[in-house]
Structure 1
Amino acid sequence: MAQECSCDARFAETSDLGPLDDIIERYGREKGALIPLLQETQDAYGYLDEAVMRELARRAGYQLSQLYGVATFFAQFRLKPIGEYLIKVCHGTACHVAGATQITDEIANQLDIKEGDTTPDGRFTLESVMCLGACSLSPIMLVGEDTHGRLKPTGIKKILKQYAGDSGSSKEEE
């Protein structure tokens, strides 16, 4: 059963396949171009939608399974829409030891979502990553391109409020 997402207005309509023409013209079946082909497609649509992937395979001459094989192997590719702010919590060794699990749990609690999910208003998506390369700041998270380090669960609500705007994504003070 297909999942409905109230945030799909943030992304190009997948029925608009025009951007594929330019992308395919640049890369086509050029050897070694499958990853940049998928990257640009994801940039154009926000994620790799099934209809777009089917059309990309047809137009560029790939098997759909080839596209999905690459898209599911590399963590950079998304098969469903993400929120306006992608929250990446580092769970590498230093961050894990410093409390990354508690940070992820607090974010999930504040946003009332599970890891890997997006808030109903499309504001936030929460995911865990293996390493963000800033071990001296552990535990660390990225909110979009912004780095937040030396995190404590008690400081999460304040950080999320910076991004919540009027949406009310974060739980109110209790």
Structure 2
Amino acid sequence: MITEKVNKGNEVKQQAHYLTDIERQFIDHEVSLVPHKSAAVIEALKIVQHQRGWISDDSVNAIAAYLQMSPAEVDSVATFYNLIFRKPVGRHVILVCDSISCYVMKYGDIYKALQEKLHIHFGETTSDQCFTLLPNACLGCCDHAPALMIDNDLYKDITVAMLDRILKQYT
């Protein structure tokens, strides 16, 4: 546990920032691969997110303390990358590519069908906490548009008719 003193008026409080042993072990490995501790910040964020599902303010503070950075520096990295989640997400994250290629190939039909099937819009999570639906600027498969990704699984040449079969794999 790493603690820091926080002054609140006349009162001094101890604030705890925790990283688990496994998080510290994986972060230490990443730190060993770079010339400066702070250069491992992206990997540290990914490690903590993998363990916890998202990056809370407490997680930002813990990573900052461990890597000897300010929380603002860690937060600026976390908010820059769209695959670092700064609020809770469902067990499965659906990224719908909305690049120009996918747009031209009717990604809107896919998005509309997902909205209807899941009863959510971009940025929302289903009531059972199973899925979070997010837009993504590019999934890197423009020649197979439209595309979407669920967790680490990429689906190309998507049609509305394929969605039930795809979603069923994650429920």
TM-score range relative to shorter protein: 0.7 to 0.9
- Look up the match of 1:96: 103
Deviation at 1:103, TM superposition (A): 1.0
Whether the 8 Å CA contact 1:103–1:153 is kept in 2: the answer is yes
Q: Which has the higher strand share?
A: 2
- Look up the match of 1:4: none
Unpaired stretches in structure 2, ≥5 consecutive residues: 1-16
| Aligned equivalents of 2:86, 2:100: Cα separation in 1 | 27
- Look up the match of 1:142: 149
Cα distance, 1:102–1:33 mapped onto 2, change above 3 Å:
same
Out of 28, 32, 37, the residue aligned to residue 44 of structure 2 is: 37
- Look up the match of 1:22: 25
Deviation at 1:41, TM superposition (A): 2.1
Amino acid of the structure 2 residue aligned with 1:30? K
- Look up the match of 2:122: 115
CA RMSD, 1 decimal:
2.4
Taking every aligned residue pair, what percent have the same amino acid on both sides?
27
Identify the range of structure 1 (132-141 vs 89-98) with the bigger mean alpha-carbon deviation: 132-141
Deviation at 1:17, TM superposition (A): 3.3
How many residues align? The count is 150
Unpaired stretches in structure 1, ≥5 consecutive residues: 1-14, 165-174
Of structures 1 and 2, the one with the larger relative CO (CA 8 A, separation 6+) is: 1
Please state if 1:63 is matched with 2:64: no
Amino acid of the structure 2 residue aligned with 1:90? C
* TM-score under structure 2 length normalisation: 0.74
Deviation at 1:42, TM superposition (A): 1.9
